Amino acid sequence: MDTVRQVFTAPWVRWLALLGLCAAYLQGGFDKATDFAAAIAEMNHFGLAPAAPLAIAVIVLELGASALILTGFYRWLGALALAGFTLFATFTANRFWEMAAPERFMVANSFFEHWGLIGGFVLVAWHDLQSRDD
């Protein structure tokens, strides 16, 4: 048990777990930044306007909040920002109740997987705020 505790409480394990939690947002932010036309097309696909400013905001949010989480600088703020963004995106992009099978099955899975991410980010914020001295 002591070996397990030593390994899983190591700082690098925590950072790697935070990187895993942020991975989709880092990938999404980089992809949108490197293919801005596709980012605008995604906004248009989901009926979000004005598309270009919203795409820029999403890029900044995904990369900036991930950076906050990974550096520990206002980690709680980055985590809550990604939790809120994920909540909004989940109800925007994963409206499984409006779909027919078989697409409904895959989108419903994605909808509830996103709730897991939201919970993970809220837990990161909770832990960060609990450990603050101020």
Q: Where are the domains of the chain?
A: 2-130
pTM of the predicted protein model: 0.93
Q: What single DSSP character describes residue 95?
A: -
Position 130 scores a pLDDT of 94
Position 77 scores a pLDDT of 98
Position 134 scores a pLDDT of 62
Position 132 scores a pLDDT of 81
Position 43 scores a pLDDT of 97
| Token digits of residue 72 | 């520990």
Report the distance separating Cα 76 and Cα 102, nearest Å.
38
pLDDT by residue for the chain (134 residues), tens only, comes to 789 998 889 999 999 999 999 999 999 999 999 999 999 999 999 999 999 999 999 999 999 999 999 999 999 999 999 999 999 999 999 999 999 999 999 999 999 999 999 999 999 999 999 988 76
Report the distance separating Cα 105 and Cα 87, nearest Å.
19
